[in-house]
């Protein structure tokens, strides 16, 4: 029973088993879900943060359990790492804007965040590539996506600084 729960969790209810771009599709669904949570349901930042921590820490266990008997320690059907990595820059964007709810701006930034995250997750610039190649455990599976999320944040900060200096 726990193996089935872990499978459903790490594959985002089986979405990771689709043949074409499961990571991209998982990131896109995560983007829509977070927009819905923040802008339609108006969930508090604290509630969403608690959810993130639960997902992150359970992921460490679920991924470890799932890959235990697998030869490939980072199989493409594991997409919970994309969900975690995609969530980080969206969450930071939302907390940086407080309770202000500008849908059109948020919509654009969610698109930017999605595109940038997929770029960094696919291209894997250093140190993402280092963790992807050298850490073949649950933390390594998650860490490369966390770093990709951090790269998105840094890219957006640079963009905003340049934009404000040109204004």
CA end-to-end distance (rounded Å), the chain:
58
Token pair in block for residue 64:
């470890």
pLDDT tens track, the chain, 167 positions: 778 898 999 999 988 989 899 999 999 999 999 999 998 898 999 999 999 999 999 999 999 988 887 766 567 889 999 999 999 999 999 998 776 667 778 889 999 999 999 999 999 889 888 887 887 788 888 999 999 999 999 999 998 889 888 87
- Which residues, at least 6 apart from 74, have a Cβ–Cβ distance to it below 8 Å? 67, 132, 136, 140, 141
């Amino acid at each position: 029973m726990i193996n089935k729960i872990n499978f459903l969790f790490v594959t985002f209810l089986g979405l990771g088993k689709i043949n074409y771009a499961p990571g991209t599709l998982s990131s896109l669904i995560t983007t829509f879900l977070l927009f819905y949570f923040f802008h339609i349901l108006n969930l508090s930042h604290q509630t969403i943060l608690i959810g993130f921590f639960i997902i992150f820490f359970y992921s460490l266990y679920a991924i470890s359990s799932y890959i235990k008997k697998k030869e490939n320690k980072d199989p493409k059907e594991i997409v919970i790492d994309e969900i975690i990595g995609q969530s980080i820059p969206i969450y930071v964007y939302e907390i940086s804007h407080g309770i202000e709810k500008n849908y059109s701006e948020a919509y654009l930034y969610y698109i930017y965040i999605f595109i940038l995250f997929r770029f960094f997750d696919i291209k894997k610039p250093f140190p993402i590539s280092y963790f992807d190649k050298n850490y073949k455990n649950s933390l390594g599976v998650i860490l490369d996506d966390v770093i990709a999320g951090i790269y998105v944040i840094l890219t957006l900060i640079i963009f905003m600084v340049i934009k404000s200096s040109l204004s």
